[in-house]
Amino acid sequence: MAEEPQTVTINDTKYKLDELSDEAKAQVNNLRVLDQEIERVRQQMAIYQTARGAYAKALNEALPSSEAKAGAATKAAGKKKAATAKKKTETRH
């Protein structure tokens, strides 16, 4: 059983690799290497995006909750109000 010659399709035309010039073979090889690199970079981007999502989630979990923020704001406003009232009382005496 004879092996079929390797072919490459360029612009919808099939070419036998062994019939291409050395220059054309080199360019086909360059394109294959770049396609592999592009796929590798896509996979890396997926990893980075997943990690970024995890970091963003961790940050949100590390921030005070909105209830805690509201409580702190209410507490701070109460302290300010008490301090203002105390000042007014002191200045009247």
Residue 88: which domain range? Answer: 66-93
Q: What is the pLDDT of residue 82?
A: 73
User: What pTM, to 2 d.p., does this model score?
Assistant: 0.58
Indicate the SS3 state at residue 27.
helix
**CA-to-CA distance for 44 and 33, rounded, in angstroms?**
17
**CA-to-CA distance for 27 and 16, rounded, in angstroms?**
14
How many domains would you assign to the chain?
A: 2
Say yes or no: 87 and 53 in one domain.
no
Say yes or no: 9 and 45 in one domain.
yes
Indicate the SS3 state at residue 77.
helix
Q: What is the pLDDT of residue 91?
A: 61
What does each of the 93 residues of the chain score in pLDDT, given as a tens digit?
678 889 999 999 999 999 999 999 999 999 999 999 999 999 999 999 999 999 999 999 999 987 766 666 677 777 777 777 676 666 665
**CA-to-CA distance for 81 and 83, rounded, in angstroms?**
5
Token pair recorded at residue 11:
């612009």
